[in-house]
Amino acid sequence: MVSGIVSYGVYIPRFRIRLDEIARVWGNGEEITEGLRVFEKSVPDLDEDTVTIAVEAARNALQRARIDPKRIGAIYAGSESHPYAVKPTATIVGQAVCTSSSFTAADFEFACKAGTAALQACLGLVGSNLIDLGLAIGADVSQGAPGDMLEYTAAAGGAAYLIGSRDVAAEIEGTYSFTTDTPDFWRREGMPYPEHGGRFTGEPAYFKHVTGAARGLLERMGSAPEDYDYAVFHQPNGKFPVRVAKMLGFSKKQIEPGLIVPLIGNTYSASCLIGLAATLDIAKPGERIFVTSFGSGAGSDAFSISVKDKIEEIRCGASSVRDYIGEAEYLDYAMYAKHKGKLRI
Amino acid sequence: MTNHAPRFWRSIPQRYNLSGTHCTCCNEYFFPPRNLCPNCRRGAHLEEYTFKGTGTIITYTTIYNATEDFERLTPYNLAIIQLDEGPKITGQIVSSSAGVKIGMRVRPVFRILGKEGDKGIIYYGTKFAPLLEQSCAEEK
């Protein structure tokens, strides 16, 4: 049985702040913005959070392929910024997209890879014939303490994927995960901002896990980087995905369509899922896409995807990633602080 | 702290998806939903109807001094919107940095409507934003 992506949708808030503007306030200068290779990041509106972003992305996914929401048998919402500590994001999404009440739901948390973990769970339920369609979501309004390195990239966005085995637009040929206990980034219960291990987030965390999952999947599939037309890696900044692609043998050309972090920042649970959506926006039937996420704590999920004819039929049913990137309105740091709730009234 | 959870819960279908009613006898649409058609009365046949959410701004105002729950949003625009099916509803206009105009076409967006302080529930529902232009899709 062929299982995979039946439809997909994204949502990126329209507000942006340029990294130069953040550097102007904290005086860190050009070296940070140049080093990160990120120019601007998305900022949620005053009344947007992970739930609203997840709902907009899910509605886009349903609209793109004109899917009856009553077919959905599972909703898994991955995020590290669920607005409730206890009360699921997934139930609100279900009600907002008009599913029946006959679906299972849960919220996932695994730093930046909760969205791909949700996707794997849906794939399992579809593959075992327990559900018709699963809705996997990665959405975040990520947090960075004022002046901290994270503030330069912590952005907002969401992606939703409908996983099924009928009318598949992109087959998921295989998946492989690599997981260890690595304390590179964390947020304790009740704390407003995460902490991180600085340079420790690189070699023993991002690079070890992304290469571990990617090489594991390539070996399992018996494939090589040159067998793929595109590749998407988790994008905490503009530097890491380019470097890890080179380490694994993927070219700049392969990662270019999905490399959206320079324009919207790190959307955490949505990061590589929005990158995959940007790639699906332009991919042709028969082409193959290699995807690897990363979540601190730490783990990576890799996917081998083959694009099918159906993609041409559904592509124009909803806004593309580039449509959202083009809808940008810029904020200064004061307005950004208001939007992010950093001003206490 | 006040707890309006039951009241909010009862209106979720209307707030999330503009769920109203439609009288198939006189073809009039109602929002919020009516149990009785004022035109057809006993001869009415009402059915549930979910509004598309697209509509046109009839009039609007800008709020600079809001009540405590909304003061973080100021200044914000409130409008009366005529939905394409006919009913007029009041809603907030977001993502409209170019300004709000009478006659502007709008679409529904899912947003936070309010919060019961830091501990209470979060109210979600529908606001309105200018229609998006898409590179290759039809009007949404």
Q: B70, exposed or middle or buried, with CB in 10 Å at 0-12, 13-18, 19+? A: middle
> Can you read off the two tokens belonging to residue B127?
């606001």
Break chain B down into helix, strand, coil percent, rounded to 5.
15, 40, 45
Which percentage of chain A shows pLDDT scores above 90? 86
- State mean pLDDT over A270-294: 98
Q: Is the pLDDT of residue B132 over 80?
A: no
The reported pLDDT for the residue numbered A29 is: 65
CA gap B44, A62 in Å, rounded: 34
The reported pLDDT for the residue numbered A223 is: 97
Q: Which residue of A has its CA nearest to B97?
A: A329
Mutate to test the interface with B, among A47, A59, A281 (most CBs of B within 10 A): A47
Q: Smallest Cα–Cα separation from B4: which of B140, B122, B137?
A: B122
The reported pLDDT for the residue numbered A43 is: 98
Distance from CA of A55 to the nearest CA of B (A): 7
Is A329 an interface residue toward B (CB < 8 Å)? yes
What residues of A are in contact with residue B16 (Cβ under 8 Å)? 95-96
Alpha-carbon distance values, A132 to A53, A72, A73, A137 (Å) = 24, 7, 6, 17
**Domains by residue range for chain A, with CATH:** 4-169+312-339 (3.40.47.10), 170-309 (3.40.47.10)
CA gap B27, B115 in Å, rounded: 37
| pLDDT, tens digit, 9 for 90 and up, residues A173-190 | 999 999 999 988 888 988
Is A100 an interface residue toward B (CB < 8 Å)? no
Average pLDDT, chain B: 91
What residues of A are in contact with residue B136 (Cβ under 8 Å)? 315-316, 320
Which are the contacts of A343, defined by CB distance < 8 A and separation ≥ 6? A337
Identify the band that residue A288 occupies on the pLDDT scale cut at 50, 70 and 90: very high
Nearest to A323 among B50, B134, B138 (CB): B134
Is A205 an interface residue toward B (CB < 8 Å)? no
Which are the contacts of A344, defined by CB distance < 8 A and separation ≥ 6? none
What residues of B are in contact with residue A341 (Cβ under 8 Å)? 72
The reported pLDDT for the residue numbered B139 is: 44
Q: Which one is predicted more confidently, B133 or A21?
A: A21
Distance from CA of B86 to the nearest CA of A (A): 23
Which are the contacts of B38, defined by CB distance < 8 A and separation ≥ 6? none
Q: Is the pLDDT of residue A195 over 90?
A: no
Which are the contacts of A295, defined by CB distance < 8 A and separation ≥ 6? A110, A111, A112, A113, A114, A117, A234
pTM: 0.96
Identify the band that residue B140 occupies on the pLDDT scale cut at 50, 70 and 90: very low
- Element (DSSP H or E) covering residue A325: helix A321-326
What residues of A are in contact with residue B53 (Cβ under 8 Å)? none
Q: Do B17 and A96 touch (CB under 8 A)?
A: yes
Q: Looking at this predicted complex, what is its ipTM?
A: 0.94
CA dihedral A215, A216, A219, A223 (to 10 degrees): -60
CA gap A124, A172 in Å, rounded: 11
- B31 CA to centre of own chain: 9
Residues forming beta bridges with residue B130, ordered by sequence position: B106
Identify the band that residue B2 occupies on the pLDDT scale cut at 50, 70 and 90: low
The reported pLDDT for the residue numbered B118 is: 86
Q: Is residue A262 a contact partner of residue A39, using CB atoms and an 8 Å limit? A: yes
Q: Is the pLDDT of residue A226 over 90?
A: yes
What residues of B are in contact with residue A338 (Cβ under 8 Å)? 72
Q: Which residue of A has its CA nearest to B76?
A: A46
Q: B12, exposed or middle or buried, with CB in 10 Å at 0-12, 13-18, 19+? A: middle
| pLDDT, tens digit, 9 for 90 and up, residues A198-225 | 777 888 899 999 999 999 999 999 999 9
Q: Which one is predicted more confidently, B137 or A4?
A: A4
| pLDDT, tens digit, 9 for 90 and up, residues A18-47 | 999 999 998 876 777 778 899 999 999 999
State the CB neighbour count (10 A cutoff) for residue A262.
16
Is A330 an interface residue toward B (CB < 8 Å)? no
Cα maximum dimension of chain B: 49
**Domains by residue range for chain B, with CATH:** 18-50 (no CATH), 53-131 (2.40.50.840)
Q: Do B134 and A320 touch (CB under 8 A)?
A: yes
Identify the band that residue A11 occupies on the pLDDT scale cut at 50, 70 and 90: very high
What residues of A are in contact with residue B73 (Cβ under 8 Å)? 46-47
Q: Do B111 and A327 touch (CB under 8 A)?
A: no
| pLDDT, tens digit, 9 for 90 and up, residues B56-111 | 999 999 999 999 888 889 999 999 999 999 999 999 999 988 889 999 999 999 99
State the CB neighbour count (10 A cutoff) for residue A200.
13
Is A224 an interface residue toward B (CB < 8 Å)? no
Distance from CA of A210 to the nearest CA of B (A): 33
Average pLDDT, chain A: 95
Which percentage of chain B shows pLDDT scores above 70? 93
Q: Do B122 and A45 touch (CB under 8 A)?
A: no
| pLDDT, tens digit, 9 for 90 and up, residues A314-327 | 999 999 999 999 99
CA gap B102, A240 in Å, rounded: 48
Burial of A31-59, coded b for 16+ CB within 10 Å and e otherwise, reads eebeebbbbbbbbbbbbbbbbbbbbbbbb
Nearest to B97 among A51, A84, A329 (CB): A329
Nearest to A317 among B16, B71, B137 (CB): B137
The helix/strand/coil state of B115 is: strand
Which active-site residues of A does the annotation give?
A: 80, 112, 234
| pLDDT, tens digit, 9 for 90 and up, residues B6-50 | 989 999 999 999 999 999 999 999 999 999 999 999 999 999 999
Is A322 an interface residue toward B (CB < 8 Å)? yes
Mutate to test the interface with A, among B111, B119, B133 (most CBs of A within 10 A): B111
Q: Which one is predicted more confidently, A266 or A33?
A: A266
Is A86 an interface residue toward B (CB < 8 Å)? no
CA gap A311, A308 in Å, rounded: 6
